[in-house]
Structure formats: C-alpha cells, structure tokens
Homo-oligomer: A and B are copies of this chain.
Amino acid sequence: MTTNAPIRVALLGCGVVGSQVARQLLAHAEDLRARIGRPLELVGIAVRDLSKPRPGIDPALLTADAEALVTRGDLDLVIELLGGIEPARSLLLAAIGAGASVITANKALLAEDGGSLYTAAEQSGVDLYFEAAVAGAIPIIRPLRESLVGDEVLAVKGIVNGTTNFILDRMHSAGVGFSEVLAEAQALGYAEADPTADVEGYDAAAKAAILASLAFHSRVRLADVDREGISLVSQDDIAAAKEMGCVIKLLANCSLSADGRIAVGVHPTMVPQGHPLAAIPGAYNAVFIESRYAGRLMFMGPGAGGSPTASAVMGDVVTAARNRVRGTVGPGESAYSARGITPPGEVESRYYVSLQVTDEPGVLAKVAARFADHGISLQAVRQDGDPVNSRARLGVMTHVAPDSDLRATVAELESLAEVGPGITVMRVEGH
C-alpha cells in the first residue's frame, strides 16, 4: 500500500447523524488528511430509500445493498448508524470479516451482544470504536477505556438520556404532568413518535450496560440492568422531591459492591439539589465517575443531536484511521474480571416512601415499627395533616437499605388498616 493511498470509508445509514458525518467528512477533508496522515475517501453510503433527496451528498455514493457494500473487500472503515439489532449486527460482522475496522453508535446492539463484535474484531485484527453510543458528544468511552485504565473505578452514575431529562425538567419547572410534557417533547422533536425506548428507560439501560462493562472490566448486558422508566412519575412525586430539597432525574447507576459484584440499574431517582447531577438541564447529559485514586470526576455536554453525535463518530474515525496508517489497533475488550451481577433485591439505596395515613394517635409509631422490623433506619420523616378528612400524608426518607427489605416493608405497610392505597417509593441518591 502506498503512503498516500486513501483510507476507504463506508457509511451505513444516512439519517440525521449519518448525513452529518458525510458532510463533515467532505467539508474537513484537508484537516482530516493532516491529522491522519492520509486522506479519507467516502466510497459508499447504504440507505433504505434511494429516492429520498439528500442535499450535499453525491447520489452516486448511495446504494440500497448494504451487504454488497460492506463485503466489497477494499474498505478500511465502516461506520454503522442504522441502530437496532438486525441488520446492524450482521452487517458489522460482515464488515469485520472483510477486514474493516468498525465504528458504531449502536448502544442497543452493544448492550445486547457487544461480546460477539469484540470477539470478531479481535479475530480479524481490526478496531471496534463506539464513543457515540453513550452520552453523544461527551468523551466518556475513551476516558473509561484508556484514561482511567490504571485506576479502579468504583461507580459510574449519570444522566444518559436527554429525552427523559427534558421531560422531567419540564415537569419540575412547568408543573404539568408526564403525558402533557411528553406530547410537547414529541411536538418539539425531543421525543420519538414511539417514545418507549426513552421513557421506559431501555435506552438508558443499554448505555448503563456499556458503561458498567468498561468501568468494571466485565461483560454486562441489557438483561443485567434493573430498569424502571419515568412514565409513572407523578406531580405528587415532583412535589415531594422539592419538599425534600431534591429533583427527580432518570439515573443510570453502576457500582461495584464490597463483594466484587456489579450493581447496575436505571431508576427515577431523587437527587439532592447540591449534587452536580441535579443541575444538568434539558437535553444535556452528564456522567459522574467515582474512582479509588482519581476521586470524583464529572463530564457533561450535549447528549444527542446530529452534530454532537457526529463529532463523537468523527473522533473515532480519525483514531481508527490513524491505527490503520500505523498498521495497528487500539484497545480491545477488557472483560477479564468476569464479575457477577448483584440481584436487584440486594442492591442498596436510600429511599423516599410516601403514604396516606389516617390522622390518629399511634399511626406514626406503627409505620416506623414496620421499617425497624426490617432493619431500615429512618433519616427524616415529614407529616402533613389534612384535618378535613382526618388523613395525613407521611413522607419517610430512609438510610441506605437493600431493595428487598424496602419492598417487604412496603408490602406490610399496605396491609395496615391505617394506611391508604397508593404508596409511592423512589430511590434517593447519596448515603
């Protein structure tokens, strides 16, 4: 191969992110050549619909035959921006098999079956990069894979889904309910027509699995993530959070337990106002890392959108292209720890529990006794009377306790005659 031979790139998908990547490849050709040492050449773009107009993109590059594109045999890099499991997985495996390094933003695939991709890349001696899969433009994959690789990461927590952060933010500031804000987010293009992946936490859970894998050097999959979305978060919950000096965020939470297992979950969580994650606005993402030696680090930035995601893709493109020029590859999978997953019931958290009780002597003592029976100590209790109905609302903040003990306590509280239906429970960040 001659010194100035171009690095040949194919693109799978030409939606919001794909078309932006194509534009950046063309607009910054000279800078990219200088940074890589050889020119990049975009040789083909696989799309579903050939007839759709794509301004600024040479129609001769387009093809509907993605498989033929990735197996043509002369590609250095394949960028996958299709999303979903299939045909993305088959196409990536075919590209790797044909000797191309691959760059993907596909969190669902990585969380479902990243191991197959890593193994194939290792066998073919090619790179697998995926900075854009988590937290958009925020460099978080590379810091975990490389910068912190000499340290011991203890926890990774973050706001990794902009749609739910936008919705919760609006629920706090505008005082309107989930459904109303969701409709608004859909109208603004911040939420999909089918919002399930975002609002039910699947997207955040996939990202949590990826972050936990890298942080703890162990394979973690989507199925390992204890997941809960935000569709049941009510204005009462928001009001209760405010009263406790907190805001509700959908938090991805990955931590290493004392016994070496990994706890990984996604839950609506009350975050105290002073916590750096409490102030992350709207469609922003933020990831908080706690490590043994580095201490507490936080990374924040735009979590989605065509340009920011394309920036992350392009960083990987340059890195993978530089590796090609040098005839080498970057870091592969690091899953040597092979840790177990802590069952959700054993994961510990602080909790806020809100219940309606009859306003009569001895009720608080009865409720408190149920917590004490399960070894759960209480950090704060608030009681607001409703004299007209002789009922009161009781808000209880616990100290850290295992999820199963909390659930058992709540089940017992539900059976008390003095406690009304509709006990709400929410995790609280912190110790």
Contact = CB atoms under 8 A, between A and B. Distances in A.
Report how many copies the assembly holds.
2
Interface string A133-164: 00001110011001111111000000000000
A336 B307 CA distance: 25
Contact of A293 (B139, B147, B294, B314): B314
A81 to B, nearest CB: 14
Interface in A310-369: 310-319, 322-323, 326-329, 331, 334, 336-337
A interface, size bucket: 35 or more
Highest count of chain B CB atoms <10 Å: which of A294, A331, A336: A294
Contacts of A307: 292-295
A48 interface: no
Given A293-B24, A294-B307, A307-B293, A151 B315 contact: yes
A90 B44 CA distance: 50
A172 to B, nearest CB: 17
A299 B302 contact: no
Contacts of A322: 331
Given A217-B35, A334-B35, A150 B317 contact: yes
Contacts of A298: 298-301
A28 interface: yes
A301 B308 contact: no
Contacts of A404: none
Interface string A204-242: 000000000000010000000000000000000000000
Contact of A34 (B131, B138, B318, B336): B336
B312 A294 contact: yes
Nearest to A313: B150
Given A146-B318, A148-B315, A326-B329, 5 more contacts: A150-B314, A150-B317, A151-B311, A297-B299, A297-B300
7 contacts: A24-B150, A137-B295, A147-B312, A150-B313, A151-B315, A295-B308, A298-B299
